[in-house]
Amino acid sequence: MDNVCDPDRLYVLHRCDNRRCGNPKHLFLGTQRTNILDAWRKHRPIMAAPGEDNVHARLTEAAVKDIRGSSERASILAARFQVSLSTIQHVRQGRTWKHISLTPSDTDSMSQ
């Protein structure tokens, strides 16, 4: 049973690397691991999942919104959320967690 593949975990992958291609000759089934190895072999960038979907995320979307809306010093927030000072700064500047839009109040607090 070790070699049996769960069909719910299979993806349609592209030999031609064109995501819009629907030519059956260019398509094959594979796992996420197969897809990553294929990208690595072809020297294509492997994009990490954004936000909470990233396995290495230390913050939640709620925490990011709290950080951006807070007027507290970055060092206090870093200690509270157990992340580095630069992580707090990057969140506030919109350099990370870009998929969560900066609100006008966020940008006002950044300029102060």
Measured CA distances, 71 to 34, 83, 101, 107 (Å) = 45, 17, 18, 12
Does a structural domain hold residue 27? yes
Are 88 and 60 within one domain?
A: yes
CB burial of residue 31 (10 Å; 0-12, 13-18, 19+): middle
Per-residue confidence (pLDDT) for residue 104, from 0 to 100? 52
Q: Are residues 103 and 59 in the same domain?
A: yes
Residues 57 and 17 in one domain: no
> Does 61 lie in the same domain as 36?
no
pLDDT digits (tens, 9 = 90+) for 75-111: 999 999 999 999 999 999 999 999 998 765 544 555 4
Q: What is the pLDDT of residue 67?
A: 97
pLDDT value of position 27? 93
Same domain? For 69 and 107 the reply is: yes
Where in the sequence is the domain holding 24, given as residue range(s)? 7-41
31 and 70 belong to one structural domain: no
Do 25 and 58 belong together in one domain?
A: no
Q: What is the pLDDT of residues 2-61, one digit of tens each?
A: 455 566 689 899 888 887 888 999 999 999 889 889 888 888 877 777 888 887 899 999
Q: What is the tally of structural domains in the chain?
A: 2
In a domain, 1, yes or no: no
For residues 34 and 57, membership in a common domain is answered with no
* pLDDT score of 21: 87
Q: Write the DSSP string, 11-41.
A: EEEESS--TT---GGGEEEE-HHHHHHHHHH
Instruction: Let me know if residue 86 belongs to a domain.
Output: yes
